[in-house]
Amino acid sequence: MTNLSPEIGRRELTLANKIRNLQWGLVLLIALISSVGFAMLYSAANGNISPWASRQMSRFAIALIPMIAAALIDIRYWFRGAYWLYAGALALVVVVDLHGRTGLGAQRWINLGGFQLQPSEMMKLALVLALARYFHCVPDEGPPRLRYLLVPAGLIAVPTALVLKQPDLGTAMTLLAAGAVLFYLAGVRLWLFGTGVLAAAAAAPFAWSVLRPYQKTRLLTFLNPERDPLGAGYHILQSKIAFGSGGLFGKGFLHGTQSHLSFLPEKQTDFIFTMIAEELGLVGGLVLLSLYILVLAYAFAIALRSRSQFGRLLGLGIAVNFSLYAFINMAMVMGLIPVVGVPLPLVSYGGTAMLTVMWGFGLLMNVGIHRDVLVSRFGQSRLG
């Protein structure tokens, strides 16, 4: 038994204690990454704070409140509420599937009184919470038995299928990947993953038939971007041109030609990393990547210090989700994987993503603050 601050586990944490134990270094890192985003949004608007940078800054400021709140709420409330949150997020996804607003050919948004909400973003955290709670409760008797995996598999499969139907291939894949990682961390035997991969391969022809034409085109275009340079391959090609022409030190802040001349599509959202690479070069890209890795290291450290399975799985699930976002986005704009609509966390322009990521970091800090709180299988607090 480790004995890091053993006294904390012995009594209820006071609010002052909690605030003192907030991971202010992580907050600073988050603010730094977000600031890179503000700067690039300022540049994307040709040196204007509006329309993107100002709104993104206020979103960040607003999102800090739920983040801190999520960090301070007792972890046992999160544990108890995990399935309810999951159910709520799932309901919203269903609502979107039925009545959602269509943007870019996919139903992803619902309008909540002027506020655009993207429930599939919420789903990612809700899924991690639900899986963390589930695996926390699975009897600790070696690798989970197969019968214990049916419920979590369902927890993953239902939202994934619904999101895929929107259709939002990127989010569906991240949901699936995050679920798989939690399975892995929960100790599921490796041969089961092998079986899963085989099953996926067997289902591939069916999946292909379910894909929308534009998704098929994206996959085909990924395999050969020059196939149709002015059509579907245009985005990847233009992104690579902008990326590569940035060189070692970039063309200078506000001086990216490809992004400012609109050759680069969606420069304020999905392709913002390309803009960073064009204007700030390899150096800028490496700085941002390093910041992400620092955040990831921080998250791993927090998660692994937690004394509860719930806390560890939650922390690692959030870290993995975060890195999935960042890495998939980066790999996508560099032409390593097909174009999927995944934003760059904290940097891309977008309200729901910002809110979700900040909420996630709030939960992560919550795990850090409550690392010694013991969570029973049923969520009751149990001291010692």
Partner 1 sequence: MPRDTQRDKLLTRRAILLGGGQLAVAAALVARMYQLQVADKARYTLLSDENRINLRLLAPPRGRIFDRFGVAMADNKHNFRVVVVPEDTSDLAATLAALGSLIGLSADDRRRLLRQARQQHAFIPLEVRGDLSWDEMAKIEVAIPELAGVAIEQGLIRYYPDGAIASHPLGYVGKPSQQDLNGNPLLELPDFRIGKAGVEKADDLQLRGTAGTSEVEVNAYGRVIRELARQPGQPGEDVTVGLDMAMQRFAMARCAAEPSVSCALLDAPTGDVLALASSPSYDPMLFSRGLTEAAWQELANDPRKPLIDKAIAGMYPPGSTFKPTVALAALAVGALTPETEIFCPGYLRLGNALFHCWKHGGHGTLRLHEAIKESCDVFFYETARRTGIDNIAAMAHRFGYGAPLGLDIPGELGGLIPTREWKRARFGIPWQKGETLITGIGQGFVLVTPLQLATMAARLVTGRAIVPHVVRPQGRMPPGGDKAPPDFAPLDVSPENIALVISAMIAVVNEPHGTAYHARIKDSEYAMGGKTGTSQVHRITAYDREHHILTGAKVPWKDRDHALFVGFAPAYAPRYVAAAVVEHGGTQGGEGGAVAAPIVADVLLEAQKRDPARRVPLPAPAAPAPPTAPSAAAPPPSVIARSG
Q: Which amino acid is at 17?
A: N
Select the span of 104-112, 184-192, 218-226, 354-362 touching partner 1 (CB under 8 A): 184-192
Tokens of 309: 């399975």
Q: Applying CB under 8 A, which of residues 41, 130, 320, 340 lies at the interface with partner 1? A: 320
Binding mask 125-164 for partner 1 (x = CB under 8 A): ---------------x-xx---------------------
Residue whose structure tokens are 């961390």: 185
- Minimum CB separation of residue 299 from partner 1 in Å reads 10
Residue 264 and residue 341: Cα distance in Å, rounded? Answer: 15
Phi-psi region of 343 (alpha: psi -120 to 50; beta: other; left: phi over 0): beta
Tell me which of 101, 111, 304, 378 binds partner 1, using CB under 8 A: 304
The H or E element that residue 109 is part of is strand 106-112
Q: How far is the CB of 336 from partner 1 (least distance, A)?
A: 6
Does 316 contact partner 1 by CB under 8 A?
Answer: yes
Q: Does 238 bind partner 1 (CB under 8 A)?
A: yes
**Structure token digits, residue 20:** 């003192």
The yes or no reply on residue 240 touching partner 1 (CB under 8 A) is yes
Which pair of tokens denotes residue 191?
A: 């041969």
Nearer to partner 1, 3 or 209 (CB): 3
Structure tokens at 211: 């894909």
Q: Which is nearer to partner 1, 216 or 227 (CB)?
A: 227
Phi, psi of 212 (to 5 degrees): -75, 155
Cα gap 114→96, rounded to integer Å = 15
Say if residue 159 is preceded by a cis peptide, omega within 30 of 0: no
The answer to whether the Cα torsion of 33, 35, 41, 44 is positive or negative is negative
Strand partners, 110: 117
Find the shortest distance in angstroms from Cβ 107 to partner 1. Answer: 27
Interface residue with partner 1 among 245, 253, 287, 381 (CB under 8 A) is 245
Number of amino acids touching partner 1 (CB under 8 A): 52
Residues at the contact surface with partner 1, assessed by CB under 8 A:
1-2, 140, 142-143, 181, 184-187, 238, 240-248, 257-258, 260-263, 277, 281-282, 285-286, 289, 292-293, 296-297, 300, 303-304, 307, 309, 312-313, 316, 320, 323, 327, 330-331, 334, 336, 374
